[in-house]
Structure 1
């Protein structure tokens, strides 16, 4: 599945918005192509060093973590880590992200990565499900163990019941809305129900839940609100009210910035991006529907077959240090995973936290997430 949460600063122009009206949503590369058994990951390998040696750490990450055109934490982290540790950090950024390593595990082909950065609950469930189906036998990830700094992680962010994935940042799904539209009279609704009112007809752009992390999170939030038996009826009402569904986060955000609609599903750190780009903050207002924001923590985990397990653990502990947490949050447009990261005073002015964070746990999603997504697709993305 494509993880578009990380494309925050890489939005490209959207050619136009496709209304969700019972036809197939725009296709998006979901990273599901099976790589050749001996192929290198399609994407970028950054850094010098010899993978497989004790003084080289290979970190796998989603591409924008390393090479987003505006800002990303990858290069900064590499420099900071190498300054302190007698080691070389090499990045791998396959376009298919975690799926690249899953396919190699299924094929029984070795890979060189030691740590994966950017793991979320859904990806972890996908990996565990494939192993549970007998697609591969050995564990993909190792337990974090007694990791220095683990006790700093904020309550409620730990999402792996088997203690493999450790959160390093989090985001909250919200509405972003443009207060300058309708002659400056536009005000976003405060509730989910408000989105279905006729005065907001055609005013909302969302991402396809089957192809994007943000779209999936918004769908899961509607399930939190209306239950598994009622969320599809709610989406029926959104459709009747002219909601626009596009296949990627970048397409939706570009359509929003082009003022094709006054509201878009995005992240509550949107004003961090807007302020950094010197944009009009009136066009980047935040709304937490029902005073809630759906939490999407990102985690890191050590691959079980890592050739540098000691260095991998040192890197994970390094990622949890307060000053590193602050640097990651600012460069990744997110919230730290710990409470005492020394962020600039104005960061909280722009990064908005919901009055009530909500999310589904691993156990709640296991066995349900795929069914809920399939139900949505059958109802709304059928031919």
Structure 2
């Protein structure tokens, strides 16, 4: 979720722990007094009107709103306010959704109506750490039938997907012998001697992309085989860094010809006029790990009906297309049409792989803990 900020700062050639939230700045920063004397900093865009119009307060992660020209947030605010008799106010607390979890722990109201930016892994963590419900089931959406069923990730019906990304291998074919490096096509091929020391990955205990890649290996090799597979990856020289940003930075410097990243990498490269040979996409086993993002209404929302209207607005075809382009992702619905120049460089895998909430619940911590015990401390 911090990719946009990094790539704009470093150039296309040049995610944090779950529930730690994403960081970003923009709008007006305010510090508020919270229950028990604690303070927390939140970043908001938009102000409450003094008239009769209601205010819809939406929590999200910083990069969703902090760049006026390209982030979805400012555009969504303008469009929503132009059609509805309401004011939209964004909240971007430094700790993301964890801000609202901590408030719930202390018995303090959320202070928002909706959260945008949830995924299945976050919901599992939330439900494992809170006794009550932070979010409420969603009902009454006229566009709910347009959502791709493969992207649905909340069996309790709280979170509704609004976009998705696919974690894949990005590779630089100019770094091979005679400028002809070709990435492996399968997980098994990745273990061959010719690919020794060629892959940069991320720690799954501190990185969203790292966790997605780990889950993909679990899907490919099974719960009983993924640690053995990682042991072989280690023997073959995989380099595991703390997060996406340092891994991609190392890749950009030519330290390795492959990095675990996103299948929309060429979108950034094209915008920056980069050599596309340095931004090739490989879906191992012809698969990409999907990590859909969703939105959900807080259980204590002051304006739940308005929150439902906004969620339905987010699922409209033209809004879905705009979100995808601005967030450099894919729509969650089957009705959105992407611009031709964007679709040319945003690659979808032949097959999407993702773990459902039910598969992750009770397993996610065990899988990551086992990986950490086996590899992170050695």
TM superposition shift of 1:346: 2.7
Match of 1:238 in 2: 233
Match of 1:338 in 2: 333
1:210 aligns with 2:205: yes
Structure 2 distance, partners of 1:193, 1:312, is 46
* Deviation >6 Å, runs of 4+: 27-30
Deviates more, 1:346-355 or 1:53-62: 53-62
Match of 1:24 in 2: none
Which fold has the larger relative contact order, with Cα–Cα distance below 8 Å and residues 6 or more apart in sequence?
1
Q: What SS does the corresponding residue of 1:245 show, helix, strand or coil? A: strand
Change (3 A) 1:28 1:335: closer
Render the CA deviation track for 1:145-195: whole Å, top value 9, x for unaligned: 121211110121111001110000011110001111124111101011122
TM superposition shift of 1:48: 1.0
Q: What SS does the corresponding residue of 2:294 show, helix, strand or coil? A: strand
Render the CA deviation track for 1:297-342: whole Å, top value 9, x for unaligned: 1000000101111111111011001110000000101000112213
Match of 1:20 in 2: none
| Long gaps (5+) in structure 1 | 14-26
Q: CA RMSD in A?
A: 2.2
Match of 2:272 in 1: 277
Match of 1:165 in 2: 159
8 Å contact kept, 2:164–2:291 = yes
TM superposition shift of 1:39: 4.8
Structure 1 distance, partners of 2:315, 2:308, is 11
Match of 1:382 in 2: 377
Match of 1:72 in 2: 71
With normalisation by structure 1, the TM-score equals 0.89
Match of 1:178 in 2: 172
Match of 1:124 in 2: 123
Matches within 5 A, 1:288-327: 288-327=283-322
8 Å contact kept, 2:263–2:348 = yes
The number of equivalent residue pairs is: 359
Match of 1:19 in 2: none
Question: Please, which of 6, 9, 17 is the counterpart of residue 10 of structure 1?
Answer: 6
Render the CA deviation track for 1:128-148: whole Å, top value 9, x for unaligned: 1122xx3xx3x2111111212
8 Å contact kept, 2:201–2:238 = yes
Match of 1:16 in 2: none
Render the CA deviation track for 1:44-84: whole Å, top value 9, x for unaligned: 11111169x86111110011111158831111111111111
TM superposition shift of 1:281: 1.1
Structure 2 distance, partners of 1:69, 1:77, is 11
Change (3 A) 1:9 1:278: farther
Structure 1 distance, partners of 2:40, 2:325, is 28
1:144 aligns with 2:177: no
Match of 2:242 in 1: 247
8 Å contact kept, 1:6–1:65 = no
